[in-house]
């Protein structure tokens, strides 16, 4: 999934950088849509009401009125969507925009202030000089078509709604790119752009050894090869933004589909069947949660192994500068080599299943993590070797570490505590959240490892392990992460305290109160969902976050910024 971003960026650059000629039989390669004036106005009204600025939509209309000499958007059909279609024609990517109108002349007059007067170019076409380059506009069937060349208007679609194919109903703003329709020479061009962009990154950096440079170049070339391959495998890419007035959320979707039978399509099919044994580690009251489950692609496994090898070499080189004795160096290198061997073996499992949560409270700071591994016994043995090696250097460590302290649900628990340094910044606040000692609990099982750090570490870990076993085998989406902005903001306020200025305190308190009123709907979430032959990734803002966006005009005034234009009635 992560690799398709490269492909999308390349296609976007091609579309934006193409020419404007158009031969017979053009192929639509991308369609851009905007849901329509009325829909967007309704979104602004909702956001304004949530943020205590019910006049937000009228304020924006006031700005439009100011920019159009008081005419507003007369002549625009505000109920219909608008957008553009990008065609492919040889090496060119001509664009034709379309806007729904009730009266084109009225709309052109309204826009004359910001765009200049429209001149009659003949054949019902108007020319607008917006800067250096002209634009040509012609009305047909209730649509105003816009193009950078007059001849392109003859190729305008008879019915733009058919091109949108319902896209305008799903998203306020969206772009759909048909990757499968890119001809071979364009794919070659895309591969060249990728290679050109990465060439500079492959140059040797100051202080970089020959070995480090060679490894970095190897990783970069492998990534490039994979990106080029995926351009050929992709079918369709959709990027869409929507503000949902019913659920009072806003989200951005990235929907990527691959051609039938490709490696990406097969991976998507496997991801759709993902089952998790780590759901107990997604705590309902945590400030941040993350869960990732599903197959690990062969290309990702290979790349990760290379990265691990590079990291190992870097750490081994750093050990040389630590002033260790020969015996200490031998032990340290042995432990490091064994650790990275375990990490590489974990990639052979071909599956990832992990969950994690961070608890942020004024009196509690904790982290719990659980993940599947091929052989938990090997990891436990390595931890015991590490503890033994440390104890040989620092005998007092024995008083703070207890291996195999107890067993819970078949999991061996190893407990450690570390005194919190009293000379650290905000030591008193940290002590309140963590306690005088930082508690660390490691759990090892035949096919999993678990870790908890912070306040009530052992209690949280035991609860997470028990709930995970109860929910084991639950079918899930490939990935989901969530951040409570309210909890994060409150934690930041608790930590900064008197360090905040008067204005900062007022604004932060205002934000905290707004988020508190949302009834827990203050999350930013990212969720990946398997779909036929592909993946949908959704980035979502809940109601509480939208209320902050709606309150921005008020906060800008409070901070001494300029106010928005007064509302204007039409």
Q: How many CB atoms lie within 10 A of CB 116?
A: 14
Q: Where are the beta strands (DSSP E) in 204-350?
A: 234-244, 249-258, 275-276, 288-295
pLDDT of residue 371: 96
Average pLDDT for the chain: 86
Number of helices followed by number of strands (H, E) in the chain: 19, 22
Per-residue confidence band for 14, with pLDDT thresholds at 50, 70 and 90: very low
- Residue 310: the pLDDT is 82
pLDDT in tens, 247-256: 999 999 999 9
Residue 16 pLDDT more than 70? no
pLDDT at 360: 92
Cα–Cα distance, 420 to 428 (Å, whole number): 10
List the domain boundaries for the chain: 15-178
Q: Is the pLDDT of residue 483 over 90?
A: yes
Q: What is the model's pLDDT at position 363?
A: 82
Q: d(Cα 426, Cα 35) in Å, to the nearest integer?
A: 50
Which pLDDT tens digit goes with each residue over 421-431?
776 666 777 77
Burial string for 267-300 (b: 16+ CB within 10 Å, else e) reads bbeebbebebbbbbbbbeebbbbbbbbbbbbebb
pLDDT of residue 500: 64
Average pLDDT over residues 539-546: 95
Evaluate if residue 130 carries a pLDDT over 60.
Answer: yes
Min mean pLDDT across 34-43, 282-291, 350-359, 513-522 is at 513-522
How far apart are alpha carbons 459 and 441 in whole angstroms?
A: 10
**For the chain, how far is it from start to end, CA to CA, in angstroms?**
47
């Amino acid at each position: 999934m992560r690799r398709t971003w490269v492909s999308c960026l390349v296609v976007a650059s091609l579309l934006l950088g193409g020419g404007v000629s158009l031969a017979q039989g053009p192929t639509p390669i991308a369609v851009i849509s905007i849901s329509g004036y009325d829909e967007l106005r309704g979104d602004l009204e909702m956001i304004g009401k949530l943020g205590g600025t019910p006049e937000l939509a009228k304020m924006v209309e006031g700005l439009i009125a100011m920019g159009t000499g008081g005419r507003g958007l007369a002549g625009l059909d505000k109920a219909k969507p608008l957008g553009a279609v990008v065609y492919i024609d040889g090496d060119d990517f001509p664009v034709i925009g379309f806007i729904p109108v009730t009266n084109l002349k009225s709309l052109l007059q309204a826009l004359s202030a910001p765009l200049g007067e429209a001149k009659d170019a003949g054949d019902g076409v108007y020319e607008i000089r917006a800067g250096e380059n002209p634009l040509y506009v012609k009305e047909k069937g209730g649509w105003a078509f816009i193009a950078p060349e007059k001849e392109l208007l003859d190729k305008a679609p008879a019915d733009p709604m058919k091109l949108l194919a319902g896209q305008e109903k799903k998203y306020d703003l969206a772009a759909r790119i048909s990757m499968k329709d890119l001809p071979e020479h364009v794919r070659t061009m895309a591969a060249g752009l990728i290679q050109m962009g990465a060439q500079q990154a492959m140059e040797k950096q100051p202080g970089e050894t020959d070995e480090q440079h060679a490894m970095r170049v190897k990783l970069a070339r492998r990534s490039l090869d994979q990106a080029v391959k995926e351009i050929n495998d992709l079918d369709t890419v959709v990027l869409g933004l929507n503000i949902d007035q019913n659920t009072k959320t806003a989200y951005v979707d990235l929907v990527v589909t691959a051609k039938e039978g490709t490696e990406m399509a097969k991976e998507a099919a496997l991801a759709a069947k993902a089952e998790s044994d780590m759901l107990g580690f997604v705590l309902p009251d945590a400030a941040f949660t993350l869960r990732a489950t599903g197959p690990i692609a062969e290309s990702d496994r290979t790349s990760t192994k290379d990265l691990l090898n590079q990291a190992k070499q870097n750490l081994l080189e750093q050990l040389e500068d630590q002033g260790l004795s020969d015996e200490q160096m031998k032990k340290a290198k042995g432990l490091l080599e064994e650790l990275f061997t375990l990490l590489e073996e974990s990639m052979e499992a071909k599956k990832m299943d992990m969950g994690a949560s961070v608890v942020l409270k004024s009196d509690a700071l904790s982290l719990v993590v659980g993940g599947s591994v091929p052989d938990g016994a090997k990891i436990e043995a390595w931890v015991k070797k590490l503890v033994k090696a440390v104890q040989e250097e620092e005998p007092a460590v024995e008083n703070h570490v207890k291996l195999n302290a107890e067993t819970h649900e078949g999991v061996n628990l190893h407990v450690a505590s570390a005194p919190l340094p009293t000379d650290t910044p905000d030591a008193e606040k940290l002590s309140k959240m963590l306690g005088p000692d930082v508690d660390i609990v490691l759990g090892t099982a035949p096919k999993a490892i678990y870790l908890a750090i912070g306040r009530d570490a052992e209690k949280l870990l035991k609860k997470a392990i028990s709930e995970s076993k109860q929910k084991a085998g639950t079918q899930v989406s490939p990935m989901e992460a969530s951040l409570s902005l309210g909890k994060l903001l409150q934690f930041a306020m608790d930590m900064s305290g008197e360090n905040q200025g008067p204005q900062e305190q007022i604004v932060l308190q205002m934000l905290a109160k707004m988020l508190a009123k949302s009834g827990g709907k203050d999350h930013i979430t990212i969720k990946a969902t398997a779909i036929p032959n592909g993946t949908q990734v959704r980035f979502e803002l809940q109601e509480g976050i939208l209320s902050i966006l709606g309150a921005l005009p008020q906060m800008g005034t409070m901070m001494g910024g300029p106010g928005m234009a007064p509302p204007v009635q039409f």
